[in-house]
């Protein structure tokens, strides 16, 4: 299931491979693709835990695309992963950390589960 998500991300980012686009446009593409494609899977299923090959693969694809437009060359990361995932308000690039994003989306379901009463979806899960 998650391997399908990785394949879709690679395909969508692969369209832009070899094109000269600015860092700002690459950040915009990463944000839109990483929010669009895995949103459904990440909101319903917990990403595999340690060692998460899927998480590492998504982060590698994201990192490779961010720092260089060619997937086959060695790249220099000009900022740490933590700095890249920080909010733009504090000097980061505002790229979403996939693991935190997954946990947040699952937490939203737990919140809904505790706050709603008598709804059909809650009865199906219970």
**In this structure, what are the phi and psi dihedrals at residue 20, rounded to the nearest 5 degrees?**
-90, 100
CA distance 88 to 86: 6
CA distance 41 to 30: 17
Most confident of 50-54, 86-90, 111-115: 86-90
Q: What is the pTM of this model?
A: 0.68
The two tokens of residue 57 are 């693969």
Of residues 100 and 78, more confidently modeled: 100
CA distance 23 to 113: 40
Going from the C-alpha of 67 to that of each of 19, 24, 47, 50, 77, the distances in angstroms are 13, 11, 25, 26, 6
pLDDT tens readout for residues 25-37 = 888 888 887 667 7
Instruction: Tell me what pLDDT residue 33 has.
Output: 75
Asked if the model's pLDDT at residue 91 lies above 80, the reply is yes
pLDDT tens readout for residues 109-125 = 878 777 777 777 777 76
Asked if the model's pLDDT at residue 17 lies above 70, the reply is no
CA distance 32 to 116: 31
What is the domain partition of the chain in residue ranges?
Answer: 2-125
């Amino acid at each position: 299931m998650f391997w399908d998500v990785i394949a879709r991300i690679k395909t969508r980012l692969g369209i832009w491979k070899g094109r000269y686009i600015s860092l700002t446009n690459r950040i915009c593409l990463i944000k839109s693709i990483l929010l669009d494609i895995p949103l459904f899977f990440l909101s319903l299923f917990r990403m595999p835990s340690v060692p998460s090959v899927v998480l590492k693969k998504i982060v590698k694809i994201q990192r490779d695309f961010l720092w260089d437009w060619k997937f086959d060359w060695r790249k220099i990361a000009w900022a740490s992963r933590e700095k890249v995932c920080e909010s733009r308000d504090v000097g980061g690039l505002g790229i979403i950390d996939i693991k935190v994003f997954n946990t947040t989306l699952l937490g939203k379901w737990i919140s809904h589960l505790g706050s709603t009463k008598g709804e059909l979806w809650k009865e199906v899960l219970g």
